[in-house]
Amino acid sequence: METTIDAGTTPRLAPEAFAERASAIEREVGRVIVGQRELVRQTVTALLANSHVLLEGVPGLGKTMLVRTIADVIDCAFNRIQFTPDLMPADITGTNILIEEEGRRIFRFQPGPIFANLV
């Protein structure tokens, strides 16, 4: 299944309005993530450019807090995946669960964490 977006019907913002919204997102995230202005700016820029970011670092640097805060500010779903040696593909993509309802059995797809807006 492919999803296409017709660029002619996508609402466009004037550059000034776009810059103001980007700055507003940065300000809101900066209220929680203190002292990491450049990291916040680069992460928000990548998000607005429809790009990807890989955050690496030792525990306790605020990587999860940064992404969770951005998700809260822009009202998106956030999930975190902890990569461990026993992680299975279905732990990421989801799986079909057998449900018994009114004497019949059906499979219902339980989506995994990859179906969030920000992972």
d(CA 70, CA 76): 8
What is the extent of the structural domain holding 62?
A: 15-74
Over residues 71-85, mean pLDDT: 93
Over residues 43-48, mean pLDDT: 92
Within a domain: 80: no
3-state secondary structure of 104: strand
Position 78 scores a pLDDT of 94
Within a domain: 7: no
Work out the widest C-alpha separation in the chain, in whole angstroms.
59
d(CA 29, CA 40): 7
pLDDT: is 93 or 6 the higher one? 93
Question: How many domains does the chain divide into?
Answer: 1
Model confidence pLDDT, tens digit, residues 3-40: 555 555 667 778 888 899 999 999 999 999 999 999 99
Within a domain: 88: no
